[in-house]
Chain A
Amino acid sequence: MVLSSLSEPAKGRIARVDIGGLPVGGQTALAFHRFEGEVPFLPRMALEVWDTAPEDWPQPLADIYGAVWHDPVAWAEKAVTLGAEMLVLRLMGGGAKGDAKATAETAGVAAAVVEATGIPAVILGPGEPERDAEVGKAVAAALSGKHCFLGMAEEVNHRALGAAALGYGQGVIASSPIDVNLAKQLNVLLSRLGLEESAIIMDPTTGALGYGLEYSYTVFERIRLAALTQNDQKMQVPIIALVGGESWKTKESRAGEAELPGAGDRLTRGVLWEAVTGLTLALAGADILALRHPRSVQLLRTAFDSLSRT
C-alpha cells in the first residue's frame, strides 16, 4: 500500500490575514493536516475582556478576573500574563441604548486597552447590529491604522461597519447564523464594498458542547471543504469561534455540585466544557478561539503543540 495515494492535496488556500501584526490563516490543508499541505500557523487563542464588569460570569471566572474586571486596562494586562496571544474586547458602551457620549467613551477604552497591551485585538460591540456599527465606527477612527477586526458585521449593518473598516484600515468579523450559504453571502456582500479577503474573518456562529456544537462543527467543516477542495474563493477566509461566551453560559459550566448532583467538580466541568468545545471547533477549521478561562488556554496550547509534531 502506498501512503501517498491517501493524501488529498487541496486546490485552494485560505487567505492570510494579519490582525495587528499577528498572522492567521494561509493554509492549503484542512485543520492540522500537515501531512498533505501547508499549515503555517496553529489556531490563535484570544482571551475575552469587557469594558464593563460582567454580571453573569460564573464563580470560576470571577475567581480569576473579579479583582480586575472593573478596570479594562488592568483586565487586558492580566489576560496577556495569562497567555492570551490576542484579545477579544467586548464593548458594552452603554449597551443597546447607548448615546454618542457612551460611544465616544467606549471607543476611548478600546484605544487605551490596545495601547497598553500592544497585542492584536478583535473588538466587538454590545451585540445589537445598529449599536455594533456605531461603536465600530468610533473604534475604527480611534484606532486608525492598527488593523483591528471589528464586529459584528451582519447582513443588516455590513455597509456601515464595512465602510468604517475600509476607511480606517481595519478588518471586520462577519457573523452569520449557522448556515453555509448565509456565511458565503455575507462575504460576497462585504467584498462588493471593497473589502479584501484579508480584511474579513468569519464567525459562522458557535454552539457550545451539548448546545448545538454539532451544527457549528459541520458548518465549519463544510465552509473549509468548499474553500480548499472546491477552491471557492468567497469561503477562503479565516474562521473565529466565540467559544468562551457560549461555553460558560451552559448549565454544565455554571451549576455547582448541589444543582447538578453526580456530575463532579464545577471547575473541572467548566474548563473541560470550554476546552473540548474549542478543540472540536479547531478540528473543524477554526483559526481563532475566543476563550475565557486561562486553564483552557494552557490545555489547548498543549494539544495544538501535539497536533503540530511528529
Chain B
Amino acid sequence: MALSGLQVYKLLPKTNCKDCGFPTCMAFAMQLAAGKVELEKCPHVAEEIAAELGEAAAPPVRRLTLGTGERAVTVGEETVMYRHERRFEHAPLLAVRLGEEVTDQEFSRALVAFRDMAFDRVGQTLRPGGLALASDHAELLAARAMQAHQVTGAPLLLLSSDPTVLRAAAAPLAAARPLLCAADAESLPGMAAVALDLNLPLVLRAGGVEAVAALATQAVALGLKDLVLDTSPATLQEALRDHTFIRRAAVKQRSKSLGFPTLAQPWHLARARGAAAGTMSIGGGESLAVDPLLGTLYASFFIAKYAAVIILETLDPAQLLPLLVLSQNLYTDPQRPMQVDAGVYPLNDPGPDSPVLLTTNFSLTYFTVAGEVENGRVPAWLLVMDVEGQSVLTAWAAGKFVPEAIAPFVRTSGVAEKVSHRRLLIPGYVAQISGELEEELGGEWQVTVGPREAADIPRFLRSTM
C-alpha cells in the first residue's frame, strides 16, 4: 500500500528547513504522499530512506511510454479498481494489427488511412493510438516497421515468436520505443536479451495469473524493468478474472511481479468463441458464423476492464469510433468532468430579439445543445452556467442548478444587455423549477420550459418564438 502523509513525514528529516519550497516537512510529506511532488526536492533525506520512500511513492502499476514525439502514448500508473475511487489514469493504447497476410499495397494504404483517421468529439481529437505489426520474417517485419514509423510516427508493437526477427525489426527503430511481443516461458532468455540490448519493453505471455507472475519474476531477475503482461485467456470470464486479479495484486498488495500494464487480444477471443461453438465456416455454410463485430464488442470489454494495450483487427471507422468514445468516457476524471467556460455564447449570429437558452457547462451538454441549435440554423443566445461540469439533471440533483443559484448567474452574466426581451428558456428536465426561478429573478424574466432533448430545440424555437 502507498504510505500516508504521516508515514512519509516520519521518514523525513523533520527540520522544516524549507529547502523543498514547502513551509514544513509535514506539508511536503502530504504533497509527496499525494504524488504531487518528487522526493528529489528534499536534498537532506538519507539514501536508504530515499530508496524506501521512492518505492512507496511509485505507482502500483508501472508507467510505460511507447513511441516518441507527439504521438507517444503512456499507459500504466493506475492506482484504483473503480474510477470513482480516484480516476483511471491513462486510456489504453488501441493498436491496429496489420499481419503479414496483408499485401504491400494494402499495407501502404492502411498506413495512410490510419494516419489520417481522427474524430473530433466534445473538444477533443480521438484516434487509434498505435499499430501492431506481425510477421516471422525478419526482412518483411523490419521493412514494414520502418515504413510504418516514417508514415505515421505512431507507437509500434512488433509481433513475432522469434527473437532474431524482433531484433532485426526493432534495432533500427529502438529510439522510437516499440513494444516487443511476446516472450513465453520457453523464449524468455532470447527475448530478454533483445529487450535488454535495445532497452525496449517486452510483453510476457503465459497461461493465467500465476504463470505470468512467475514469468515476470524471472524477467525482473534478468534485469528487465518495462514489462507488459498477457495471461492469454480463452474466454471473457478468464479475462475478467485475470485482469481483476492483476489489478488487485498491484493496487492492494503492491505485487512486484504483477505491477505491470496488461495486454489484450479481443479478436483472438472472438475467434476462439467461434471455433468452440463449431460455427467458424470453412468454405460455405455461414449461417451460424460469428458476427464480424464481435471482436470490437470484446475490445470494449477490455477498455472497461483494465487492459493497457489492446490489439484491434479492424480499421473500420464505424468500429473504431465507439471504442474511442468509450475510452474517452471511462477515462474522464470523475472529479473533473470535461467542461466549458461559463458565459453567453452567440449561436448563428443572434440579435436583440433572439431567444435566450439556459444550460450547464458540462462539455457534452454544451456541445450537444450548441450543435443542435447550429444545425437547426436558429439564431440564439446560449447562456452556459458553471455547475462544475455536470449535466442538467445531475447538477439539479446536486443542488447546483437550482433557482437560488441560477438567478444571480442570470443577473451577472451580461445577457440582459444583449437582448431587448426578458424571456428565458430552461431545459425540460428541470421544468419543476420554472415558477421558483421567476420569483428568484424578481419577476423581471419570464421563464419558459423548453424540451427535454437537445434535438427538439430547433423545432421548439421555430414553433414558439
Binding site for B on A (CB under 8 A): 1, 3, 5-6, 8, 32-35, 177-179, 182, 205, 209-215, 217-218, 221-222, 225, 249, 251-252, 262-266, 268-269, 271-273, 275-276, 279-280, 283-284, 295, 298-300, 302-303, 305-310
Q: In the complex, are the beta carbons of A264 and B394 less than 8 A apart?
A: no
Q: How far is the CB of A187 from chain B (nearest CB, A)?
A: 16
Binding site for A on B (CB under 8 A): 82-84, 117, 119, 121, 209-210, 213, 234-238, 240-241, 244-245, 248-249, 253, 255, 257-258, 269, 273, 290-291, 293-294, 296-298, 300-301, 304-305, 316-319, 321-323, 325-326, 328-330, 332, 334, 364, 368, 371, 391, 393-394, 396-398, 453, 455
Q: In the complex, are the beta carbons of B329 and A307 less than 8 A apart?
A: no
A271-B293, A272-B297, A306-B236 known; A214 and B329 CB under 8 Å? yes
Q: In the complex, are the beta carbons of A3 and B209 less than 8 A apart?
A: yes
> What residue in chain B is nearest A254 (Cβ atoms)?
B455
A299 to B295, CA, bound (A): 10
A5 to B326, CA, bound (A): 31
Q: In the complex, are the beta carbons of A302 and B322 less than 8 A apart?
A: no
Q: In the complex, are the beta carbons of A212 and B325 less than 8 A apart?
A: no
14 A-B contact pairs sorted by A residue (CB < 8 Å) = A1-B210, A3-B210, A6-B244, A6-B248, A262-B119, A264-B321, A268-B316, A269-B318, A269-B321, A272-B296, A276-B296, A284-B304, A310-B235, A310-B241
A211-B364, A272-B293 known; A303 and B397 CB under 8 Å? no
A5-B253, A263-B318, A303-B236 known; A279 and B82 CB under 8 Å? no
A249 to B452, CA, bound (A): 13
Q: In the complex, are the beta carbons of B325 and A275 less than 8 A apart?
A: no
Q: How far is the CB of B147 from chain A (nearest CB, A)?
A: 24
What 4 new A-B contacts, CB under 8 Å, besides A6-B249, A263-B318, A268-B316?
A214-B83, A303-B298, A310-B234, A310-B237
Q: In the complex, are the beta carbons of B300 and A279 less than 8 A apart?
A: yes
Q: In the complex, are the beta carbons of B322 and A273 less than 8 A apart?
A: yes
A99 to B69, CA, bound (A): 66
Q: How far is the CB of B431 from chain A (nearest CB, A)?
A: 11
Q: Which of B317, B364, B391 contacts A264 (CB 8 A)?
A: B317
Q: In the complex, are the beta carbons of A303 and B245 less than 8 A apart?
A: no
Q: In the complex, are the beta carbons of B235 and A306 less than 8 A apart?
A: yes
Q: Which of A6, A217, A272, A307 contacts B240 (CB 8 A)?
A: A307
A177 to B325, CA, bound (A): 23
Q: In the complex, are the beta carbons of B316 and A302 less than 8 A apart?
A: no
Chain A residue contacts of B297, Cβ below 8 A: 272, 275-276, 279, 299-300, 303
Chain A residue contacts of B236, Cβ below 8 A: 32, 303, 306-307
Q: How far is the CB of A280 from chain B (nearest CB, A)?
A: 6
Q: In the complex, are the beta carbons of B293 and A279 less than 8 A apart?
A: no
Q: How far is the CB of A54 from chain B (nearest CB, A)?
A: 14
> What residue in chain A is nearest B391 (Cβ atoms)?
A212
Q: How far is the CB of A218 from chain B (nearest CB, A)?
A: 5
Q: How far is the CB of A292 from chain B (nearest CB, A)?
A: 16
Chain A residue contacts of B322, Cβ below 8 A: 209, 252, 269, 272-273, 276
Q: In the complex, are the beta carbons of A249 and B455 less than 8 A apart?
A: yes
Q: How far is the CB of A266 from chain B (nearest CB, A)?
A: 8
Q: Which of A249, A284, A302 contacts B291 (CB 8 A)?
A: A302
A15 to B323, CA, bound (A): 33
Chain B residue contacts of A8, Cβ below 8 A: 248
Q: How far is the CB of A189 from chain B (nearest CB, A)?
A: 16
A2 to B382, CA, bound (A): 58
> What residue in chain A is nearest B214 (Cβ atoms)?
A1
A299-B293, A307-B236 known; A264 and B329 CB under 8 Å? no
A218-B83, A307-B237 known; A210 and B121 CB under 8 Å? yes
Q: How far is the CB of A77 from chain B (nearest CB, A)?
A: 22
A249 to B244, CA, bound (A): 33
Q: Which of A32, A209, A265, A295 contacts B325 (CB 8 A)?
A: A209
A268 to B295, CA, bound (A): 13
A1-B257, A212-B364 known; A308 and B329 CB under 8 Å? no
A34 to B297, CA, bound (A): 21
A32-B237, A221-B82, A306-B236 known; A275 and B321 CB under 8 Å? no
Chain B residue contacts of A211, Cβ below 8 A: 364, 368
Chain B residue contacts of A309, Cβ below 8 A: 235, 237
Q: How far is the CB of B181 from chain A (nearest CB, A)?
A: 23
Q: Which of A178, A265, A272, A306 contacts B393 (CB 8 A)?
A: A178
Q: How far is the CB of B83 from chain A (nearest CB, A)?
A: 6
A273 to B318, CA, bound (A): 10
Chain B residue contacts of A305, Cβ below 8 A: 273
Q: In the complex, are the beta carbons of A276 and B237 less than 8 A apart?
A: no
A209-B329, A249-B455, A309-B237 known; A280 and B300 CB under 8 Å? yes
Q: In the complex, are the beta carbons of A210 and B329 less than 8 A apart?
A: yes
Chain B residue contacts of A269, Cβ below 8 A: 318, 321-322
A5-B253, A179-B394, A283-B304 known; A263 and B455 CB under 8 Å? no
A209 to B364, CA, bound (A): 12
Q: Which of B269, B298, B393, B453 contacts A177 (CB 8 A)?
A: B393
Q: In the complex, are the beta carbons of B321 and A263 less than 8 A apart?
A: yes
> What residue in chain A is nearest B233 (Cβ atoms)?
A310
Q: In the complex, are the beta carbons of A298 and B397 less than 8 A apart?
A: no
A298 to B298, CA, bound (A): 13
Q: How far is the CB of B254 from chain A (nearest CB, A)?
A: 12
> What residue in chain B is nearest A210 (Cβ atoms)?
B325
> What residue in chain B is nearest A219 (Cβ atoms)?
B84
A142 to B196, CA, bound (A): 74
Chain A residue contacts of B296, Cβ below 8 A: 272, 276
A280 to B328, CA, bound (A): 13
Q: How far is the CB of B330 from chain A (nearest CB, A)?
A: 6
Name which of B234, B319, B326 has the most chain A CB atoms within 10 A of its CB. B326
Q: In the complex, are the beta carbons of A222 and B84 less than 8 A apart?
A: yes
Q: In the complex, are the beta carbons of B319 and A303 less than 8 A apart?
A: no
A34 to B235, CA, bound (A): 13
A1-B257, A6-B248, A218-B83 known; A279 and B301 CB under 8 Å? yes
> What residue in chain A is nearest B274 (Cβ atoms)?
A302
A177 to B399, CA, bound (A): 13
Q: In the complex, are the beta carbons of A306 and B394 less than 8 A apart?
A: no
Q: How far is the CB of A29 from chain B (nearest CB, A)?
A: 11
Q: How far is the CB of B421 from chain A (nearest CB, A)?
A: 28
Chain A residue contacts of B301, Cβ below 8 A: 279, 283, 303
Q: How far is the CB of B386 from chain A (nearest CB, A)?
A: 18
Chain A residue contacts of B84, Cβ below 8 A: 218, 221-222
Chain B residue contacts of A209, Cβ below 8 A: 322, 325-326, 329
Chain B residue contacts of A284, Cβ below 8 A: 304
Q: In the complex, are the beta carbons of A299 and B294 less than 8 A apart?
A: yes
Q: How far is the CB of B136 from chain A (nearest CB, A)?
A: 29
A303 to B304, CA, bound (A): 14
A306 to B319, CA, bound (A): 20
Chain B residue contacts of A212, Cβ below 8 A: 364, 391
Chain A residue contacts of B273, Cβ below 8 A: 302, 305-306
A264 to B209, CA, bound (A): 38
